A = this chain, B = another copy of it.
């Protein structure tokens, strides 16, 4: 093993040591550290922007696309937003040490279920450097240590950010190793993280495109919080309000087409399609959205024919697949077959239909009469999120500080022995 890789492995051991300290640090100390991290990032602004400029120059030379360079690039407003996010997380309620439930048994034993930090969290991400500050802050808010692995194009930016974050930790008397980032571009370092850094990682969070998430999902030996894709549906029920249906569909598809909460397939109830679909299709078309419909949709408005593949495609682009469905059950069957368990919405004035949709659609987020683009930790009131999870265990939906804790049972007795 190269020296670089040995160093990566040693980060796992360092994190476990730091974890024992930060796990029991008072909430106020972690709050002070978060505030200090914000100050240190702000103070190191020039260094961070210089490192980022070098990253951007190198990525441009390597022929990365403009949209890629845009995600990578930092500027003073973006840096200020990162500092502000650190402040927001510093001000957020502390999720550690919360008593979730408490009960007493007939033998007098007092049981409490209390939140505690998870331990050490690995975050593998791609170009956006702000993931470094968001992830570090959310992990610390929940009493965890984090090991960051940035994409090779943003290594210098993330190293500069990490240096500042670690100074902030030291300012508050916490171990610098609560936040570490892997500096080597050696791709074998990702393999070490997928193996769990010698048992050090409790959970791994991949943030990035499908190829990254697919690799992590198929190779990781530790639990993952992630989503591979957001194949979100909006279903216009027979009892939908026409104006809501129009506004929600336009927003759900087009507000931002590149986010995971964007609607990719519109399901329209056959009972209402003749009245509604032409108007909605026209508005989408006028907004530059390409439409791909089944035969029934095509009969109501001129559009391309949808292929089987369209029901399975997360376009992340101004393209919408449209299907006319017979009823609520047909809509839910389509979602069960093609959905990704991320976010799905129904538009209806019928409370019973809404109730069935919410109970029966097995997705992390289900909405009634609202846009799927609300699938975002900020919109949930979580302050910030480290990602959105579509797995079923532990964390589901937007992952904020509240979901970066686990719990333990604390039992108080007076000398009880078991019969």
Complexed CA–CA distance, A223 and B255 (Å): 36
Asked if A60 is an interface residue, CB under 8 A from chain B, the answer is no
Q: In the complex, identify which listed stretch (A265-273, A301-309, A366-374) lies at the interface while the others stay far away.
A: A366-374
Contact A415 B243 (CB under 8 A): yes
Partner of A393, one of B202, B243, B364: B202
**Minimum distance in angstroms from A228 CB to a CB of chain B:** 12
Complexed CA–CA distance, A396 and B410 (Å): 12
Residues of B within 8 A of A407 (CB): 396
Asked if A239 is an interface residue, CB under 8 A from chain B, the answer is no
**Minimum distance in angstroms from A85 CB to a CB of chain B:** 18
Contact A359 B415 (CB under 8 A): no
**Minimum distance in angstroms from A346 CB to a CB of chain B:** 10
Contact A247 B415 (CB under 8 A): yes
Majority DSSP secondary structure for residues of A touching B: mixed
Residues of B within 8 A of A255 (CB): 417-418
Given contacts A359-B24, A408-B364, A415-B244, contact A103 B381 (CB under 8 A): yes
How does the 8 Å CB contact mask read for A391-418 relative to B, with 1 for contact and 0 for none?
Answer: 1111011000000001111111111111
Complexed CA–CA distance, A374 and B374 (Å): 45
We find that the number of chain A residues with CB closer than 8 angstroms to chain B is 62
Q: In the complex, identify which listed stretch (A111-119, A127-135, A151-159, A283-291) lies at the interface while the others stay far away.
A: A111-119
Contact B369 A412 (CB under 8 A): yes
Residues of B within 8 A of A109 (CB): 370, 374, 379
Complexed CA–CA distance, A109 and B97 (Å): 29
The interface centre, meaning the residue of A336, A371, A396, A415 with most chain B CB atoms within 10 A of its CB, is: A415
A-B contact pairs, 5 of them (CB 8 A): A24-B360, A255-B418, A364-B409, A366-B411, A396-B409
Which residue numbers of A lie inside 8 Å of B, CB to CB?
A: 20, 23-24, 97, 103, 105, 109, 111, 116, 118-119, 202-203, 223, 241, 243-244, 247-248, 250-252, 255, 336, 354, 358-360, 362-371, 373-374, 379-381, 391-394, 396-397, 406-418
